[in-house]
Amino acid sequence: MRQVADQLPVSADDVAGAVSRLSGVANRTPIVTSRELNQRLGADVFLKAEQFQRGGAFKFRGAYNAVSSLSEAELARGVVAASSGNHAQALAIAAAVAGAEATIFMPRDAPASKRAATEGYGARVIEFDRYSDDREAIVQELVERDGLTPVHPYEDSRVMAGAGTSTLELLEDAAPLDLVVVPAGGGGQLSGGAVAASGVAERPRVVGVEPAAMGQWKASLAAGHPVRVEVGATIADGQQLRSPGKLTFAVVKALGVDVVGVADEDIVRAMRYLFERQKLVTEPSGASAVAAVLSGLIDVKGLRVGVIMSGGNIAVDRFASLMS
């Protein structure tokens, strides 16, 4: 395993280095425990509360780890990404902290609140058409023309290492764990977390959770390489990606990580549970790993299990409509 890990784009040392880099800048988010939850599941459950991260999701970890590794000259030219989601706000904050300008391409139909929040953190927002424009191409154009550094939401070893710090902190603060459950979208947090878990003595099992209606990880793991699935209807918009990343997939495959698919109705139930019993706000993707555990999809009986709540960016009105 150690030999496998040595050939991967991210090492356990990279994740540990990211923890140091994030110290005092990112929040070391709290771990929530509950007697009631432990009794219900017959397990010791540790919920890592990334909704309390800067920007309301784990994404700041990867974005800042990437931005803080840039040279003065690179920072002066700025960073760029295309994102309608939590990565947009995360990169905007990370760039502001590092004193760089962030340019964020956002789809024309992105919620006005997300655009306002991203601009509120000081980023320059440029609209694109998600149906006719190629987002990779428009990012690449600014990279080549103006020398901006692209910070991809997950296909970037610095972002993967940064995203893995949520798992590493959990492993440190709730040691020893038997199992860590991590939401899976593009795979930044899952791959970084799996690398982190491979570097601690107890070697906990890592399981990813994706929306069953998408299944990009299940299909790709079955095929042995990243495949592109049809877009399925799911409320978990943060994980609604047609394919895993190439880099993230390579890590997840090499480290033998399983990924399970959770149903939207179980996500809704988990969001309601977290609201009513734990007084915590989660967005659908943020509650997906909790949903897999609460629903019994992942059997945790008798285990010490860490579960990542990856974000809480949801408007009250959308929350209310999902719960109705």
Residue 190 three-state SS: helix
Q: Quick one: which segment of 181-189, 197-205, 229-237, 273-281 binds a second copy (CB under 8 A)?
A: 273-281
Pick the closer one to a second copy by CB: 145 or 279: 279
According to the binding rule CB under 8 A, does residue 312 interact with a second copy? yes
User: Contacting a second copy (CB under 8 A), which of 151, 163, 280, 289?
Assistant: 280
According to the binding rule CB under 8 A, does residue 324 interact with a second copy? yes
Is residue 59 annotated as part of the catalytic site, yes or no? yes
Distance of CA 143 to the CA centre of its chain: 24
According to the binding rule CB under 8 A, does residue 316 interact with a second copy? yes
Residue 300 three-state SS: coil
According to the binding rule CB under 8 A, does residue 317 interact with a second copy? yes
Pick the closer one to a second copy by CB: 5 or 290: 290
Distance of CA 99 to the CA centre of its chain: 24
Q: Which of 262, 260, 216, 217 is CA-nearest to residue 236?
A: 262
Pick the closer one to a second copy by CB: 93 or 160: 93
> How many chain residues touch a second copy (CB under 8 A)?
21
Please tell me the distance from the alpha carbon of residue 172 to that of residue 29, in angstroms, as a whole number.
12
Please tell me the distance from the alpha carbon of residue 99 to that of residue 62, in angstroms, as a whole number.
17
Minimum CB distance to a second copy, residue 277 (Å)? 8
According to the binding rule CB under 8 A, does residue 56 interact with a second copy? yes
Q: Quick one: which segment of 135-143, 144-152, 155-163, 271-279 binds a second copy (CB under 8 A)?
A: 271-279
* Contact between 154 and 248 (Cβ < 8 Å): yes
Q: Quick one: which segment of 17-25, 65-73, 156-164, 315-323 binds a second copy (CB under 8 A)?
A: 315-323
Q: Cis before residue 176, ω within 30 degrees of 0?
A: yes
Retrieve residue 76's tokens: 């002066």
Please tell me the distance from the alpha carbon of residue 285 to that of residue 288, in angstroms, as a whole number.
5
* Contact between 9 and 157 (Cβ < 8 Å): yes
* Contact between 309 and 286 (Cβ < 8 Å): yes
Q: Quick one: which segment of 76-84, 150-158, 288-296, 312-320 binds a second copy (CB under 8 A)?
A: 312-320
* Contact between 171 and 204 (Cβ < 8 Å): yes
String of contacts with a second copy for each residue 26-45, x by CB under 8 A: ----x-x-------------
- Of 11, 48, 59, 220, the active-site residue reads 59
According to the binding rule CB under 8 A, does residue 281 interact with a second copy? yes
- Of 166, 191, 198, 310, the active-site residue reads 310
According to the binding rule CB under 8 A, does residue 272 interact with a second copy? yes
According to the binding rule CB under 8 A, does residue 294 interact with a second copy? no
Pick the closer one to a second copy by CB: 114 or 218: 114
Query: Residue 260: enclosing H or E segment and its boundaries?
Result: strand 258-262
Please tell me the distance from the alpha carbon of residue 320 to that of residue 299, in angstroms, as a whole number.
30
For β-strands 44-49 and 31-32, DSSP reports them as antiparallel
Is residue 166 annotated as part of the catalytic site, yes or no? no
**Which residues in this chain contact a second copy in the complex, by CB under 8 A?**
30, 32, 51-52, 56, 272, 275-276, 279-282, 312, 314-317, 319-320, 323-324
List the catalytic residues: 59, 310
